[in-house]
Amino acid sequence: MAKILSKVGIITGNALESSFVTQSIDAFIGGEAYDISLSGSFNMTGSTFISGSLTVEGITSLSQPTTINGNVTLNNTTITGSLLLTGSISTVGNLTTVGSIIGTNITSANFISGSTVIGNKNGITQDNSGGAVNIEMTTTTYPPDSIISITQTTDNNAVAFTLPEPEIGLEYTFLANLTSTGTGTTTFNTDGPLLNGVFICSNGNLDKNDIESMGFNQTKFIKGTRVHFIANKTTWNFTAYSLCTVSDINYS
């Protein structure tokens, strides 16, 4: 247990014991453990090495390069230089930079906003080489605004996707990477008659309301066909840019 510097026995006129003097020296050369308390200020022009912990209740200013190897908890912090973190950083409050923010993935629980937003859509490919495809989409497995490229060229395996529950602003794009082959159809479904939209075909257009299923007959999901879905709160709007005739589409 660390000691405390003592003044007991130090009286004017009495003889000084060596320990009265050496205690301070022992304390400040580290020869023995002493707990030191200062009520004034402490001004150090050299370096300070602390192998224990440091707690600063007041304002801290670190004007030179700083390395902190342990975990760091900061309250309000202003860094005018650059900040390199090899671990994670978490703020309960806001994070504001005058410069740029660069990361591998940037994810927000709420919205991401910028004067300009640049980037590819999320891309997903799907083929039918493993058998018939019948996928119930979720916003986890199929992130919003994804483009799903479909290759339907194996055997007679049909392809069917069921959209998630409508959610305002949610949208998906499907694209035929190759013209479908075999006897399988290509179908897009909703849970209930929630589909409303238009087929734009090579020989005319066809609009449909309150249908539950729409798609293409066998071999008619032609390379380049694009189907775009966007939801409002309760329904899905579709636009099918179809490289086939109206008679080659199906719906129910």
Partner 1 sequence: MAQTLYKTGITTGQTVTAAHVTQSIDAFTGGEAYNISLSGSFNMTGSIALGTPGGDLTVVGPSTLNGDTSISGNTSLVNSLVRNCTITGSLLITGSTLTVGNLTTVGSITGTDITATSFVSGSTIVGNKNGITQDNSGGAVNITMTTTTYPPASIIGITQTTSNNAVAFTLPEPEIGLHYTFTAAATSTGTGTTTFSAPSAILNGIAICADATELVESKTNFIFASTNFTKGTRLYFISDGDIWSITAYCLCETGRVSSS
Lookup: tokens for 68: 């902190």
Q: How far is the CB of 132 from partner 1 (least distance, A)?
A: 21
Question: 108-114: which pairs have CB atoms within 8 A and are 24 or more residues apart?
Answer: none
Contact between 131 and partner 1 per CB under 8 A: no
- Cα of first residue to Cα of last residue in the chain, in angstroms, is 84
- Binding window for partner 1 (CB under 8 A); candidates: 127-135, 142-150, 153-161, 210-218: 142-150
Contact between 14 and partner 1 per CB under 8 A: no
Determine contact, residues 127/182, Cβ cutoff 8 Å: no
Among 132, 134, 136, 143, binds partner 1 (CB under 8 A): 143
x/- string (CB under 8 A) for partner 1, residues 172-211? -x-xxx----------------------xxxxx-------
- Binding window for partner 1 (CB under 8 A); candidates: 12-20, 129-137, 187-195, 206-214: 12-20
Instruction: Label the pairing between strands 147-151 and 171-176.
Output: parallel
Burial 43-61 (b: 16+ CB within 10 A, else e): eeeeeeeeeeeeeeeeeee
Contact between 100 and partner 1 per CB under 8 A: yes
Contact between 141 and partner 1 per CB under 8 A: no
Contact between 76 and partner 1 per CB under 8 A: yes
Determine contact, residues 195/211, Cβ cutoff 8 Å: yes
Determine contact, residues 238/190, Cβ cutoff 8 Å: no
Instruction: Looking at residues 16 to 55 of the shown chain, list those that interact with partner 1 (rule: CB under 8 A).
Output: 16-19, 21-22, 24-55
User: Hey, what amino acid is at 34?
Assistant: Y
Q: How far is the CB of 133 from partner 1 (least distance, A)?
A: 16
Contact between 89 and partner 1 per CB under 8 A: yes
Determine contact, residues 216/186, Cβ cutoff 8 Å: yes
φ, ψ (nearest 5 deg) of residue 248: -95, 0
Contact between 130 and partner 1 per CB under 8 A: no
Among 81, 131, 192, 193, binds partner 1 (CB under 8 A): 81
Contact between 120 and partner 1 per CB under 8 A: yes
Determine contact, residues 195/250, Cβ cutoff 8 Å: no
Among 8, 12, 14, 109, binds partner 1 (CB under 8 A): 109
Contact between 74 and partner 1 per CB under 8 A: yes
Q: Of 54 and 212, which CB lies nearer to partner 1 in the complex structure?
A: 54
- How many positions of this chain bind partner 1 (CB under 8 A)? 131
Q: How far is the CB of 227 from partner 1 (least distance, A)?
A: 11
Spatial CA neighbour of 214 closest among 179, 181, 174:
174
DSSP letter assigned to residue 165:
P
Q: Of 31 and 192, which CB lies nearer to partner 1 in the complex structure?
A: 31
